[in-house]
Each structure stands twice: as structure tokens, then as C-alpha cells.
């Protein structure tokens, strides 16, 4: 098969290179013994390489590549890098894929594992696998649900949520609702939507428990590549202490 031919070709090439190297080495050793000058020894050694690699080889390879490129073009295969045609000769199987066959757009939610707070000298540990985004199954009184529902950069475009695929699938699993100011005011004048500056509101699902309350995103710090994190400042309008909460997410090593 093609793989065996490629292996034999590599072995044959290695053998030829070794033979040329050995011939050059012998000429360097035997030349001075026969009274030849150093210049003549070097010229004869280079002559061996010239004989082994003929000057017409690059032209012959170019002709072969052009011929192969024309044959590919006849099969409606267009090559933008002809120099790789020789390398592709060692390929036996090519697997082509388009979105919707082997892969799909977006992500699927499998499980979520929270982190339990460390007590004293104990190290933090992961919780069991949670297949639902509910407070009862998550540590820290379900604060992770609030963080996932608010700490993201999602936005609505024509009524459809858009943003990072990971943020999108996690937010959808919470069941919360994102409402942006002016999103449902298409019948108003375009400038009227910006007369009043209103924060984005995140509302819990209709079947949520009493612990779930809506939050307003006061400030959003978008993801920073250098810091490897993003954060948001949220406010609970129904809270009596009128405090704000900061939620942050990013790489654990940072």
C-alpha cells in the first residue's frame, strides 16, 4: 500500500544519503594518501554529490508537480500550495467533515461540578455531578446559579440571545431570562431607546423558589485576555441593605 511504499522510499533515501556520505569520507581520507592537494580532494568530494544529485532534478520535480496539479484540477481539486503535493503522496485516507455531520454548532450541557468551601486546613473539594442548575444541588446556597446567570457578555439581537457559546449554554440551563432596556420598544423612535439609561435585568424563571430574585447588571468588565477573567457588578432591587455584589469568573490559575 501507500504507507509501505513511503516507508521503502524513506529507507532507500536514507541508504543513498549514507552511501554518498561514506564516499565523501573515503575521498577525504584517500586523497591525501595519494598525494592529492586539499583543493582537489574537496572538489572531488563535491563532484560525488553532484553526480548523485543531478542538476536536472529540481526541473524534473517541478514538471512532476505541475503535472500532478493539472491532474488534480481535472478532478476539480484546486491546490494553492503545490509544494505540498509530494508530501500528500504519503496520505492514505482523508476524512472531510462539514458542520452538521460529525460536528455541530454550539455546545451541549452534560454536568456541573461545584467546589465545596474548605474548612480549616482541609483542601477544597468538588461536589458530586449536578445535571440540573438548581440551588438545592449546589454549594454556597446556590450562589453559583447567580454567578452563571449574571456574569457573561450575552446580548439580544432581534430577540435572540447571542454571545460566547459556553456562556450561552450555561445561561440557558439556568432558565433565567435576560431583559435589556429598549429590546421590546421597536415601535418607538430609534433615539427614544437611549434617552433613559437602564441596566440589563436578569430575572429568575417563573417556577423559581423564593431564594431566586432578579438582578440588575450595574457594571460589566468584559473578558480580558491578559487577566484571563471577566466580572460584573450586580444589584438586587428587592434587597433591604442596598448592597452590590461582584461576580467574577476566569481561569483558576489566575
Tell me the C-alpha distance between 221 and 233, whole Å: 8
Q: Is 212 a catalytic residue?
A: no
Torsion (CA) 167, 156, 231, 105 in degrees, nearest 10: 20
Are 214 and 199 in contact, with CB atoms under 8 Å apart? no
Stretch (H or E) spanning 146: helix 143-150
Phi first, then psi: give them for residue 247, nearest 5 degrees.
-115, 135
Q: How many CB atoms lie within 10 A of CB 151?
A: 23
Q: Which of 97, 105, 189, 240 is catalytic?
A: 97
Q: Rounded to 5 degrees, what angle do the CA atoms 55, 60, 61 make?
A: 105
- Residue among 200, 247, 214, 248 at smallest CA distance from 228: 248
Distance of CA 89 to the CA centre of its chain: 29
Number of neighbouring beta carbons within 10 Å of residue 19: 12
Residues marked active site are found at: 97
Amino acid at each position: 500500500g501507500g504507507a509501505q511504499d513511503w516507508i521503502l522510499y524513506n529507507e532507500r533515501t536514507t541508504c543513498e544519503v549514507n552511501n554518498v556520505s561514506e564516499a565523501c569520507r573515503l575521498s577525504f581520507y584517500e586523497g591525501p594518501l595519494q598525494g592529492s592537494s586539499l583543493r582537489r580532494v574537496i572538489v572531488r568530494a563535491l563532484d560525488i554529490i553532484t553526480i548523485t544529485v543531478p542538476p536536472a532534478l529540481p526541473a524534473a520535480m517541478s514538471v512532476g508537480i505541475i503535472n500532478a496539479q493539472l491532474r488534480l484540477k481535472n478532478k476539480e481539486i484546486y491546490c494553492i500550495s503545490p509544494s505540498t503535493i509530494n508530501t500528500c503522496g504519503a496520505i492514505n485516507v482523508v476524512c472531510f467533515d462539514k458542520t452538521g455531520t460529525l460536528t455541530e454548532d454550539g455546545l451541549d450541557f452534560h454536568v456541573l461540578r461545584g467546589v465545596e468551601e474548605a474548612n480549616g486546613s482541609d483542601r477544597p473539594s468538588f461536589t458530586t455531578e449536578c445535571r440540573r442548575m438548581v440551588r438545592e444541588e449546589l454549594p454556597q446556597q446556590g450562589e453559583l446559579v447567580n454567578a452563571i446567570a449574571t456574569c457573561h457578555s450575552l446580548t439580544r439581537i432581534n430577540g435572540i440571545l447571542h454571545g460566547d457559546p459556553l456562556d450561552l449554554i450555561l445561561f440557558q440551563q439556568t432558565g433565567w431570562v435576560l431583559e435589556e432596556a429598549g429590546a421590546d420598544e421597536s415601535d418607538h423612535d430609534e433615539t427614544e431607546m437611549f434617552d433613559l439609561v437602564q441596566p440589563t435585568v436578569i430575572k429568575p424563571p417563573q417556577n423559581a423558589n423564593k431564594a431566586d430574585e432578579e438582578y440588575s447588571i450595574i457594571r460589566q468588565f468584559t473578558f480580558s485576555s491578559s487577566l484571563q477573567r471577566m466580572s460584573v457588578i450586580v444589584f438586587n432591587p428587592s434587597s433591604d441593605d442596598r448592597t452590590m455584589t461582584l461576580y467574577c469568573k476566569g481561569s483558576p490559575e489566575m
